[in-house]
Amino acid sequence: MVQKILEKLIPLDVSAKPMFGEYGLYFRGKFFGVICDDTLFIKVTGKGTKLAGRIAQESPYPGAKPAFKISSAKLNDRDWINHLVEVTADALATSKAKK
């Protein structure tokens, strides 16, 4: 399912890294979302909220901040999902490398 979601995000250069049994997603060096239980979750930002509209927000795993839960219909809207990823990444700070 991870590969299928990454294919939906083409032409963006999104990478997935294993994380606690699930996958963290990165774009332009920024951690913007996760794939948990075969579902895409994208971090909530101000600009992302304006674009996302009434998309459901849910915690991807216990203790996590709520994120946009992307439905399969929205995932299939390539222009919309790619725009949301770009807007979200632009609003986030660059991930810091571990020492």
| 28 vs 95: which has the higher pLDDT | 28
98 found inside a domain: no
Domain that holds residue 44: 2-91
pLDDT at residue 5 in the model: 94
7 found inside a domain: yes
Q: Domain holding 40: CATH number? A: 3.30.1460.30
Q: What is the mean pLDDT of residues 2-27?
A: 94
Question: Residue 24 contacts by C-beta under 8 Å, 6 or more apart in sequence?
Answer: 16, 17, 18, 31, 33, 34
pLDDT in tens, 1-12: 899 999 999 999
99 found inside a domain: no
72 found inside a domain: yes
23 found inside a domain: yes
Q: Is 80 exceeded by the pLDDT of residue 42?
A: yes
Q: Is 80 exceeded by the pLDDT of residue 94?
A: no
Number of domains in the chain: 1
pLDDT in tens, 43-90: 999 999 999 988 999 999 999 999 999 999 999 999 999 999 999 999
30 found inside a domain: yes
Sheet of 67-70: strand order equals: 14-19, 22-27, 30-36, 39-43, 67-70, 57-58
